[in-house]
Every structure is written in structure tokens, then in C-alpha cells.
Amino acid sequence: MKKREFLTVFLLLLPVLIYFIFLFVYPFIYGLHLSLTNDEGKFTLANFIRFLTDPWDANTIWITLKIAIPATLLNVLIAMPLAYYMRHGIKGEKLISFLLILPITLGSVFVAEGMLTYMGPNGWLNKILMALKIIDKPYRFTHNYLGVLLALIIQGFPFVFLMLLGYISGIDPTLEKAASILGASRWYIFRRIIFPLWMPGIAMATSLNFVMNFTVFPSAVLLGQPSGPTRVISIAAYQWAFEKFDFHMASAIAIIMGLVELIFILIVMLIRQRFFKIVATSGGKG
């Protein structure tokens, strides 16, 4: 590449680099520095040790995983058949897509407030269930684990659906037609052609949705029990930062959150890689 071309490319990328450095690189380095230092600015691992050895705080990792993993898996499992059905377009697709992605425009707080109103003890959902004699008394949908889980599914499903639909729509439909002409069944086509080609998109959607779910905060506060069973790790970080004003400890918790998310993503990538190896070594046999 000539010097002039390099300079042109560099100038075009400069705004992106500045944005990336100031909004991602610098905050990460600064947060990492805070997590590894004390009030005197000396290096220490005490913040991490303190968090991981305190049962009240360390348990938030397990609590958050119990919420984030099921919500992520349910979002993917619900979105996959719908995206597969809509991959070539159907009648009313725009209206269906609009209704499915509507929660994105509402925001987590608005969704939580709506759930409190309509799924509360005196909400229409309980009234309908009682009118149909399905339940004898109002069922508790909110201020518990179920409320947070439902909120994450409602909020995360549109993102997963759009990512899966966009990825599967990009798979060449002639591959299906060719396999069908050669006598392959629909299940065989899905298992041997569609699903392997779709796997990178599924892995991406799973990873990104897990990150969203693991950092849950408003839904856990409004729809859960933030001082009890749904005290997720983000609440612990908030309390250390803005209630106890210990930003070193809060930064350590944020780093731990990032490490847990990274481990989950690595596991998903390993599963994806292992799946490709199994498909490649199976020799295409039914």
C-alpha cells in the first residue's frame, strides 16, 4: 500500500479509533487499574479476594448465572423455529417482525412497569386465569425469580430473533433445492445443511444475548428481590460503587463480570468448533 493510500485509510479510520479508545479502551484500562489498587494507589488483589471469599457477594455470580443462562437458552430455542419458518419470507412478515421487535423500543424499565401492572396480583393475567378456573388465587409472577426471567426473555428475544433471521436468510436457498432434488428429506437438509451453516449465527446470538442477560440491572431491581434471591452481580457492583463509595471494589466486580462473560463465550465457541469437527468427520452419513 502506498504512503498516500495508507494516510487516506488512516484518516478515514481515525474517528472510529478515537471513539473506540475513549469509550472502550480507556474505561477498561482505568477500571482494571482501580480493581488492582487500593486507596493509596498500591497494587493489590485484595478486592478480588474480598469479593470471592464473601458468601453474600460471591453468591451473586451463581444467582446471575441461574437467571442469565436459562433466559438465553429459551430465547434461542424460541427464536430458532420462528426464524427458520420465516427465512424465505411469509405473508404479513413485516407486521409480525414489528410486533416481535416492539419490546426493543419500549426499554427495560417500561417493560418492567408493564409487567408489574398486568402481571401483578390484581393484573388482567391473574384475573383471566382465575376466571378460567385455572388458579384459585392470584399467582405471583413478579418480585421473584420468575419475574426477572420473563423480563429478560421479553427484552432479549427480539435481538436473538433478528440476528438468527438475518443469518439464516443469508444461506443460499439453492442448497436446499439441490439437496431436495437429490432425495434428501427436510429433516436431513436441516441437520446436514441448514444447521451447520446457521451455527455461527446461533453462537453469536447466544453469546451476545448472554452478555445482555448477565448484566441485568433494572429488571432485577423492579421485578425481583434485589436484597434477596435475585441480588445479581450488577446490583452488588452498584452497591459497592454508589452506596459504599468503594470504586476499587466495584471495578473488581465489573472485571469479574467481564471474565465470566468471556468464559461463557469461549465455551460457546468451543462447542461450535466441536460441532463442526463432528459434522466434518461424519462423512455426511444419515
Model confidence pLDDT, tens digit, residues 243-286:
999 999 999 999 999 999 999 999 999 988 887 766 656 544 43
Cβ–Cβ under 8 Å, residues 266 and 207: no
- As a residue count, the chain comes to 286
pTM over 0.95: no
Is 190 within a domain?
yes
Q: Is residue 18 part of a domain?
A: no
- Residue 101: closest CA among 162, 150, 165: 162
13 part of a folded domain: no
Report the distance separating Cα 141 and Cα 153, nearest Å. Answer: 14
Q: Does residue 233 fall inside a structural domain?
A: yes
**What tens digit of pLDDT does each residue of 115-173 get?**
999 998 888 899 999 998 898 899 999 999 999 999 999 999 999 999 999 999 998 88
Residue 270 domain-assigned (yes or no): yes
CATH number at residue 202: 1.10.3720.10
Domain span including residue 160: 59-281
251 belongs to a structural domain: yes
Q: 418480585: which residue's cell? A: 143
Residue 274 domain flag: yes
